[in-house]
Amino acid sequence: MTGLKKDLSKCLGPTGRLSLVSRNDKLPVSKQCELLEVNRTSVYYTPAEPDRDRENEIKNRLDYWHTKMPYLGVRKLRIKLQNEDHIEVGRKFIKRCMDEMGIYAVYPKPNLSKRNMQHKIYPYLLRNLVINRPNQVWSIDISYIRMGRSHMYLTAIIDWYSRYIVGWELSDTLDTAPVLAAVKEAIIKYGKPEIINSDQGSQFTSDKYSEHLKAASIRQSMDGKARWVDNVIIELWFRSLKTERIYPYEYLTPKALRMGLREYIGEYNTERPHQTHNYLTPKEVYLGRKAA
């Protein structure tokens, strides 16, 4: 070991001294560690890589149980994972996964983004509003969608009155771009709504999103904090989607998942009757057919 290294070691902490150890030095590693006063095992230690497959499996099962029983908290979800899925996991890890997914007990709200405190929050415009026509109010949200050992995020937009899905976008990120893409495509196909309602997630409080709605003369509405019922129409649709199409199937690639979503949304829009509108389909209601 050179004299320079010896001198440097006196000025450095344990981490700095450890960095001076070299397996190519003339001195054995054991002797270098002795002179630098560092633990020899630290030289050979390699931090364990996180088990991404296991984490995705746990998140997928949390999403499943939360969709089925949205009132379950951390302790009861842990029991479900242990007893039903045979997955041993601690409460702290479950809580971290839930925070990352935006899952909270009592209400089925996979709120996948945190509010940016520097961005403006808009008022909730739907309270006491009579919604009686298509394109009066659209509701937009993002949901975690499992995919084999991984996951994607689905942005969906529903016409509040008719329950018609006017736009959607699938992405592997939680940024604003997929949200804007879904909104722009929906407006091109169906015209613009008077109001678009969302939660307070950072995608919906971003300047790009807000400025786009403002430029299109669309009023922006936002849920009250932690009030899933303010955006209940899209929340219930996500729940139906997962129960009926995501959980019964095993989509292994984004392409397969995209095809499955396209099929489900097509069937939902054009073939599924709704009791609310005297068993007309969302498409029939959206296009203006009167209930009998």
Q: Which residue has the higher pLDDT, 3 or 97?
A: 97
- On whether residue 237 sits in a domain, the answer given is yes
16-69: pLDDT as tens digits = 666 777 776 777 777 777 777 777 676 665 555 557 788 888 888 888 888 777
Is 27 a domain residue?
A: yes
User: Greatest CA separation found in the chain?
Assistant: 94
Q: Is the pLDDT of residue 1 over 60?
A: no
Higher pLDDT, 11 or 261: 261
Same domain as 167, residue 95: no
The verdict on residue 209 lying in a domain is yes
Is 56 in the same domain as 147? no
Measured distance CA(32)–CA(16) in Å, rounded = 13
Residue 189 has a pLDDT of 95
**Residue among 220, 199, 206 nearest 104 (CA):** 199
The residue among 63, 10, 19 whose CA lies nearest residue 43 is 19
- Of 92-96, 108-112, 182-186, 231-235, the one with minimum mean pLDDT is 108-112
Same domain for 164 and 282, yes or no, is yes
How many residues does this entry show for the chain? Answer: 292
Same domain for 146 and 193? yes
278 and 151 fall within a common domain: yes
The angle subtended at Cα 168 by Cα 162 and Cα 169, nearest 5°, is 170
pLDDT for the residue numbered 134:
95
pLDDT in tens, 97-116: 887 776 666 544 445 555 55
Asked if the structure places residue 141 within a domain, the reply is yes
Q: Are residues 262 and 160 in the same domain?
A: yes
Region 169-176: mean pLDDT is 91
The 3-state DSSP class for residue 257 equals helix
pLDDT (mean) for 116-133: 82
- Specify if 114 maps to a domain: no
Judge if 174 and 279 occupy the same domain.
yes
Task: Provide the whole-model pTM.
Answer: 0.68
Domains in the chain: how many in total?
Answer: 3
Q: Does 91 lie in the same domain as 146? A: no
pLDDT at 193: 97
Residues 235 and 252 in one domain: yes
Return the percentage of the chain with pLDDT > 70, whole number. 78
Q: Range of 228's domain?
A: 137-286
Supply the DSSP symbol for 249: S
Of the pLDDT bands very low, low, confident and very high (cuts 50, 70, 90), residue 15 is low
Residue 274's CATH number: 3.30.420.10
Alpha carbon separation from 21 to 28, 29, 32, 245 (Å, rounded): 10, 7, 6, 56
Q: What is the 3-state secondary structure (H, E, C) of 206-246?
A: CHHHHHHHHHCCCEEEECCCCCHHHHHHHHHHHHHHHHHHH
141 and 268 both lie in a single domain? yes
CB under 8 A, 24+ apart: contacts of 21-24: none
- Mean pLDDT in the chain? 82
Q: How far is CA 225 from CA 61, 121, 122, in A?
A: 26, 10, 11
Q: Is the pLDDT of residue 131 over 70?
A: yes
Say yes or no to pLDDT of 164 above 50: yes
pLDDT given at position 230: 67
One domain for residues 82 and 222? no
At residue 153, the 3 state secondary structure works out as: strand
Give Cα separations from 281 to 121, 190, 278 (angstroms): 34, 17, 9
For the stretch 186-189, contacts whose Cβ atoms lie closer than 8 Å and that sit 24 or more positions apart, written own/partner, are 186/138, 186/157, 187/216
Does any domain span residue 107?
no
| Residue 118 placed within a domain | no
In a domain, 120, yes or no: no
Question: What's the rounded mean pLDDT across residues 210-219?
Answer: 96
CA nearest to 172, candidates 149, 152, 143, 147: 152
Residue 141 sits in the same domain as residue 238: yes
* pLDDT-derived band at 212, boundaries 50, 70, 90: very high
